[in-house]
Structure 1
């Protein structure tokens, strides 16, 4: 299963495969045409409460990952994750986020989950 991570602001690459935005909020200053998304799976994004608590504080990433993993077991998020897993089974998938630090983002946690691991990375 080939799952990649990229910032949504980066240029589209020919090897992106299916491009899926995994943020709950639309990326600031980006038009839908320029984003060139195949899907926007906002249902898989962390809750607003968790996102605000985390605030992209790297020192909180391990706890964020633990809490987000719990959220991913909730029915709505689990269904969105299943859709993404199905897409990834059909070819390369690139998870997109507006976050600057991709390695410490929900996209990294999702990629690990899709690849069959637990936690970020």
Structure 2
């Protein structure tokens, strides 16, 4: 299974494959029509408290990942719903709304799913 992350505001690419929005909130100013054909699995997003604590501060990245992975471990139903949405054959692109492209929940979620393939 191929996983990648991409900013939701960027136009869809031919190599995106199956596109899944993994933010709790819909990206501001982006219509559903403009975003296109995407699945939205909001329950795998970090809690509001964790998202606000992190604030996309790179210095908190390791702590964010640790806390986020613990939230995902405690919410196997949401992870299972995401896994059920993923395409086993083609690429899967996890979409996020933030401008921060290297320290965000979609990047962490790709890492989590890759490390927990057997679950």
TM-score, structure 1 length as denominator? 0.88
RMSD over aligned Cα atoms: 1.4
Q: Which has the higher contact order (CA 8 A, sep 6+)?
A: 2
In the alignment, what sits opposite 1:7? 7
- Map residues 1-121 of structure 1 onto 2, 5 A cutoff: 1-75=1-75, 78-86=76-84, 87-116=86-115
Listed one character per residue, the Cα deviations across residues 64-95 of structure 1 (whole Å, up to 9, x for unaligned) are: 110000000123xx222223334142421100
Q: Which stretches in structure 2 are left out of the alignment for 5+ residues?
A: none
Shift of 1:4: 1.2
Shift of 1:109: 0.8
Residues of 2 paired with 1:80 and 1:19: CA distance? 17
Runs of 4+ in 1 over 4 A off after TM superposition: none
> In 1, are the aligned partners of 2:7 and 2:99 still within 8 Å (CA)?
yes
